[in-house]
Structure 1
């Protein structure tokens, strides 16, 4: 079964910069290639093509084709920027969170624990929040000792709970 294309937010236009149509973008992606020259970004009002881009102090400064002055870009302020495709190659232990949320979680002995509810980004590793069958939240660090396998093909996550101190 093919999935419908999903829009991924990659940034938000926060303000204009200068008079020549440049905008300041707050990035919400870990992939800087999203803003390279020639990239196509979607908004709720249409498609924008990157003509120039540069990163500075944690923000992106972008000029779009066909937007030559401040008057042309002012209506873009506050617009979210999206992409449809996932063109970035991920390492074997990396996943798009949207693919993981809602997946059933099982122990290595195939006992169902619950479903993945959220992924929290704390410090050196992520923390996975599992909504258990007993309607509790189980927090698991994304470490090999806890998360044994993410099987996207069979739509399940395998975990080891032997190091956990409380009941699931």
Structure 2
């Protein structure tokens, strides 16, 4: 992934108040990243992020240059993006969802299982939805005994299929 490649992190759903705050519906599994960002892109235009705070199921952002409700309303429905290089670094061995979606999934012996197409969040652990070669869905729990390795650079995840597969 190129450092300047932009990643969608949310969408503006409404203004908030009269001072130009924006309600952002996060499109990330870690919306707390908004608190660490300095610049966001709204409709290809960069904005300096002045503040970010959670509010119910959205984040309230205030950006430089948007200081009233009328200006904020013009940004409703626009996507919010961040250059990949500006995302907070993940701890070793952990990844952003967008880095995992699309990976080729293979077994320990190299047999192709399919392509990771979705990540379901459950109460206990995430579940990876793999689209098999025959377009059948295969569900794999995202736990160390099933997910043996992930190589983002090679575009591959190695798994041990659960016995029920």
Distance (whole Å) between structure 1 residues aligned to residue 52 and residue 112 of structure 2? 47
1:149 shift after superposition: 0.9
Structure 1: segments with no counterpart, 5+ residues: none
1:136 shift after superposition: 2.0
Q: Secondary structure at the match of 1:51?
A: strand
**Is the 2:3–2:84 Cα contact (8 Å) retained in structure 1?**
no
Q: 1:164 to 1:58 in 2, by over 3 A?
A: same
Q: 1:23 to 1:106 in 2, by over 3 A?
A: closer
2:12 maps to which residue?
13
1:21-70 CA-to-partner distances (Å, cap 9, x unmatched) read 2222223331423245x721111151221223333334322222122222
Give the structure-1-normalised TM-score. 0.80
**Is the 2:104–2:155 Cα contact (8 Å) retained in structure 1?**
yes
Q: 1:6 to 1:69 in 2, by over 3 A?
A: same
Distance (whole Å) between structure 1 residues aligned to residue 130 and residue 17 of structure 2? 47
Residue 6 of structure 2 is aligned to residue 39 of structure 1 = no
1:71 maps to which residue?
70
Give the structure-2-normalised TM-score. 0.81
Q: 1:165 to 1:32 in 2, by over 3 A?
A: closer
Structure 2: segments with no counterpart, 5+ residues: none
